[in-house]
């Protein structure tokens, strides 16, 4: 049996990106692969026999007064235990020194590539903010780019959740044999009220769910929505970046645009939508796409937004994010054809059912075992 130790650098919950970490690692508890998860701290719902919290629970509040102390503490605990394990699985946010220390133990290192290569992401986002006449507000720095480069030199393999992510790292000089193409996943159990059929309506409800920010292209969607002249509502479900509120105020005031702040229970947003629109400029493989497809929603997305899992013409329509005319036509096409929505939505649902977390984790586990058997 292969013993794997995994490190996640921030407080973990059963939501968002930390849920990806737990959803994968908790499935790696079989006869061939067994994982231990090390985190600084986590919600009670994440705790289990194979989860190690580096910070004693009674000291958690004290530790989090220092932004860096929780991560440092988790790294120290991880490095203390690694001698008893065969392989390391690291997530972004781990320090370069910690990655190099793992390498000194001569342990194979698998790392998660959540988004595209930072140097490419910076170029994309610098351009996006420039088009809006704004200074970049993305937080990617020359230092963070260099840190990523240093880690990529040391690790053995990088999980890439979409072909676009894999291509970005390959173009940055990472050898192709280091790149493991995979996907993200979703949990149908979180959405027990799935409805396979929605009553017909004269007006459509188009959903964007996620942080309403420049990176996710919500300003491009708002522009196309105005030009499309569709009878219906564009629902933006998620907290809004100030840059969007500043530059898109005239669109956000439209009566056919509604915006809700993000909430823990957002399943009703999927159930009430007719299709999902996501013109993201920079992504990995966004979890909302899996969930929307799982709810039987056809997808209108950019190549980044589609996450490598939306099949153009089958589950939805893939369009260049800056091609406004194409987005106008795409919005109209899905809005005006209930039959097309039903056909694509059914295909999306079936596609999503092949991408639940147990299935995704099993495929990733096979990749780990295969690579270590041939290394």
For residue 121, count other CB atoms closer than 10 A to its CB: 22
pLDDT(99) > 70: yes
Residue 190 — φ and ψ, nearest 5°?
A: -75, -15
| Phi-psi map region of 88: left, alpha, beta (phi>0 left; psi -120 to 50 alpha) | beta
Q: Are residues 16 and 133 in the same domain?
A: yes
Q: What pLDDT, on a 0 to 100 scale, did the predictor assign at position 203?
A: 94
Of 106, 71, 73, 77, whose CA–CA distance to 92 is shortest? 71
Q: Are residues 160 and 23 in the same domain?
A: yes
Q: What pLDDT, on a 0 to 100 scale, did the predictor assign at position 16?
A: 87
252, 270 Cβ separation under 8 angstroms: no
User: Tens digit of pLDDT for each residue in 141-181?
Assistant: 999 999 999 999 999 999 999 999 999 999 999 999 999 99
For the entire predicted model, the pTM comes to: 0.95
Q: How many separate helices (H) and strands (E) can be counted in the chain?
A: 15, 13
Enclosing domain of residue 339: 188-352
Q: Are residues 150 and 197 in the same domain?
A: no
User: Tens digit of pLDDT for each residue in 182-241?
Assistant: 999 999 999 988 877 777 778 999 999 999 999 999 999 999 999 999 999 999 999 999
Q: What pLDDT, on a 0 to 100 scale, did the predictor assign at position 373?
A: 86
Q: Are residues 134 and 208 in the same domain?
A: no
Report the number of distinct structural domains present in the chain: 2
Q: DSSP E strands: which ranges in 210-331?
A: 232-237, 257-260, 275-278, 299-301, 316-318
Q: Are residues 138 and 218 in the same domain?
A: no
Q: Are residues 163 and 202 in the same domain?
A: no
Q: What pLDDT, on a 0 to 100 scale, did the predictor assign at position 370?
A: 96
Q: Are residues 143 and 199 in the same domain?
A: no
Q: What pLDDT, on a 0 to 100 scale, did the predictor assign at position 64?
A: 87
Q: What pLDDT, on a 0 to 100 scale, did the predictor assign at position 213?
A: 97
- How far is Cα 320 from Cα 81, in angstroms, rounded to an integer? 47
Q: What percent of the chain clears pLDDT 70, i.e. is strictly above it?
A: 99
20, 37 Cβ separation under 8 angstroms: no
Q: Are residues 19 and 150 in the same domain?
A: yes
Pick the residue with more confidence: 194 or 327? Answer: 327
Q: Are strands 87-90 and 109-112 parallel, antiparallel or unpaired?
A: parallel
Q: Are residues 195 and 323 in the same domain?
A: yes
CATH of residue 233: 3.40.50.2000
User: Tens digit of pLDDT for each residue in 331-365?
Assistant: 999 999 999 999 999 999 999 999 999 999 999 99
Q: Residue 59 class from Cβ within 10 Å (0-12 exposed, 13-18 middle, 19+ buried)?
A: exposed
Q: Are residues 142 and 239 in the same domain?
A: no
Highest average pLDDT, of 10-24, 61-75, 217-231, comes from 217-231
Q: Are residues 322 and 262 in the same domain?
A: yes
Q: What pLDDT, on a 0 to 100 scale, did the predictor assign at position 374?
A: 62
Q: What pLDDT, on a 0 to 100 scale, did the predictor assign at position 88?
A: 98
Q: Are residues 27 and 48 in the same domain?
A: yes
User: Tens digit of pLDDT for each residue in 310-319?
Assistant: 999 999 999 9
Q: What is the mean pLDDT of residues 22-31?
A: 95
- How far is Cα 150 from Cα 250, in angstroms, rounded to an integer? 44
Q: What is the mean pLDDT of the chain?
A: 95
- What number of residues does the chain have? 375
Tokens (6 digits) for 345:
């939505």
C-alpha pair distances (Å), 201 with each of 93, 147, 260: 46, 52, 22
pLDDT(375) > 60: no
Largest CA distance in the chain: 64
- How far is Cα 7 from Cα 78, in angstroms, rounded to an integer? 7
Q: Are strands 33-39 and 204-209 parallel, antiparallel or unpaired?
A: unpaired
Q: What is the mean pLDDT of residues 272-291?
A: 97
């Amino acid at each position: 049996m292969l013993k794997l130790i995994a490190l996640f650098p921030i407080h973990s919950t059963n939501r968002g990106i930390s849920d990806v970490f737990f959803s994968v690692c908790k499935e790696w508890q079989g006869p061939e692969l067994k994982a231990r998860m090390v985190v600084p701290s986590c919600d009670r719902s994440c705790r289990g026999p194979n989860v190690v919290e580096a910070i004693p629970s009674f000291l958690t509040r004290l530790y989090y007064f220092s932004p860096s102390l929780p991560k440092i503490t988790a790294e120290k605990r991880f490095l203390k235990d690694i001698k008893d394990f065969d392989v390391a699985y690291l997530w972004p946010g781990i320090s370069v020194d910690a990655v190099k220390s793992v390498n000194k133990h001569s342990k194979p290192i698998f790392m998660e590539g959540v988004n595209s290569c930072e140097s490419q992401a910076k170029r994309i986002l610098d351009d996006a903010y420039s088009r809006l006449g704004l200074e970049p507000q993305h937080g990617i720095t020359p230092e963070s780019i260099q840190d990523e480069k240093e880690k990529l030199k040391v690790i053995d393999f990088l999980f890439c959740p979409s072909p676009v992510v894999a291509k970005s790292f390959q173009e940055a000089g990472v050898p192709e044999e280091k790149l493991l193409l995979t996907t993200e996943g979703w949990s149908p159990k979180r959405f027990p009220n799935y409805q396979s059929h929605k009553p017909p309506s004269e007006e459509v409800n188009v959903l964007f769910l996620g942080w309403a920010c420049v990176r996710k292209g919500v300003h491009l969607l708002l522009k196309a929505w105005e030009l499309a002249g569709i009878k219906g509502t564009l629902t933006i479900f998620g907290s809004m970046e100030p840059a969007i509120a500043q530059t898109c105020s005239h669109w956000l005031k439209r009566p056919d645009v509604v915006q809700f702040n993000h909430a823990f229970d957002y399943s009703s947003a999927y159930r009430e939508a007719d299709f999902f629109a996501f013109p993201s400029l920079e992504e990995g493989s966004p979890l909302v796409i899996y969930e929307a497809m799982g709810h039987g929603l056809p997808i209108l997305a950019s190549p980044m937004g589609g996450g490598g899992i939306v099949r153009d013409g089958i589950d939805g329509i893939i369009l260049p994010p800056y091609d406004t005319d194409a987005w106008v036509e795409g919005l109209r096409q899905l809005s005006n054809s209930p039959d097309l929505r039903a056909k694509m939505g059914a295909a999306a649902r079936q596609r999503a059912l092949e991408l639940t977390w147990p299935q995704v984790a099993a495929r990733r586990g096979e990749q780990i075992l295969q690579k270590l058997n041939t290394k």
